[in-house]
Structure 1
């Protein structure tokens, strides 16, 4: 009875001049997005990130479908852009990292690069502003596909025993050194490659967007909440840094898409090589 009465007692008024609650920095919990169709069993998996992945796949497919719908000897703008993109992946990624058999892997590498790039750019796109790969699930899935591809093509060319020997038995080293290097090579080539490949992409997208949130929310707090004239005056600098970091984040997004694609090509090339 007493406890129920106490809960009904109104809280005392906040004295004038009491400072506002301190700034709460954004964290990983801010990346946990609720499902869009909450309570619908069949559609509970649908959230903003899953929709972004679907939209990104449609954008990539639509872009190349339109660019190659009516190819001409003298390409238009869209065809030129598609050919330039494909040429960069073919000449600077596939050919340099895979070797003579590079052509059959170019379509996958082009699609991979474009898909990652579109999803990364979502992080700075107005009205979206959320990098899809700040959730690790899809990064793990793409790394698993890469793992399956380079192991499959390696076993297909070298044979199972020859491939395992290629990836775990470094040639040209003394036997006693091989005893040490073989478990390291096995761990690196068969286990750590997909893990580091996915974590690199996920970690950069998460950290970059988190940094943007810190500057944006911090500037908003300094301008509208903080009861401090100095913070109010300095708030535009926080927004300025947010703009600078947006351009830097755009650069990182392109670089991470490129690195993921290059490493995929290099793993395929290493599996097809005659010597590891």
Structure 2
């Protein structure tokens, strides 16, 4: 990692990938692992408390929970999977959306300040171990193994010689690259966003405390940028949770669609 010289008094070492490798808290358990468990507790507590005393005229808490449910059910699951077949997948899509959202939002919560999905292993595990098994199993259950594979990797209406090139590409995409790209989208956004916040925050701290007198006023700009980027990052965190759930539902919808 290179060093950025800002003043005669010292150097500023910009943050990088090493700052995401957090030391173990105890027994090999790291902060991201704790945050994953914490996110599950938060989501469970939110829905359990909101639905404990259901009423026709909902409280603000119940209304918030119903709004999140309706959004996951109607705006994601039903729109992407289809009105006839979406209902069995609503719990999964809702869980994916809320789980991703809470773990992303951790990045701007004071004290916590770490988006869990900035570690590629977490979104990759969701994609490989949860989303794509459901995606393929749903298609196989509907069409049978042979017809599903044919539908997925041998699109109709193409000259037969083209299949020699197209079919291996389709197999590679459907069974290998699609889950990887799904995970990389949210990972890259969380990693880059958190890194930008670190640059402005630590840079402002350095300019204020370590740099020469002429550069100290510049720290105000750096801190202002950190605040502005925090609001932008909050928007991106919500958007990426939505996109992750939306694409997951879209893949399931494709597996159930009659055409390719």
TM-score, L = length of structure 1: 0.89
Aligned to 2:3: none
Q: Which of 66, 75, 91 is the aligned partner of 1:92?
A: 75
Q: Which of 159, 167, 170 is the aligned partner of 2:155?
A: 170
Q: Which structure: larger Rg?
A: 1
Q: Could you report, residue by residue, the CA deviation over 1:129-175 in whole angstroms, capped at 9, with x for unpaired residues? A: 01111111111111111111101111111111111111101122222
Aligned to 1:13: none
2: CA distance between counterparts of 1:270 and 1:222?
52
Query: Any stretches of 5+ residues in structure 1 without a counterpart?
Result: 1-17, 38-42
Query: Any stretches of 5+ residues in structure 2 without a counterpart?
Result: 1-6
Q: Which of 49, 52, 56 is the aligned partner of 2:39?
A: 56
Aligned to 2:246: 262
Query: Following TM superposition, where does structure 1 have runs of at least 4 consecutive aligned residues deviating by more than 3 angstroms?
Result: none
Where 2:150 maps in the other structure, the secondary structure is: helix
2: CA distance between counterparts of 1:175 and 1:82?
52
2: CA distance between counterparts of 1:69 and 1:101?
29
Cα offset, 1:83, TM superposition: 0.9
Cα offset, 1:228, TM superposition: 4.4
The alignment covers a number of residue pairs equal to 252
Q: Which of 214, 217, 223 is the aligned partner of 2:202?
A: 217
Mapped pair 1:112 → 2:106:
no
Cα offset, 1:116, TM superposition: 0.7
1: CA distance between counterparts of 2:102 and 2:65?
14
Mapped pair 1:203 → 2:192:
no
Cα offset, 1:180, TM superposition: 2.6
Mapped pair 1:22 → 2:11:
yes
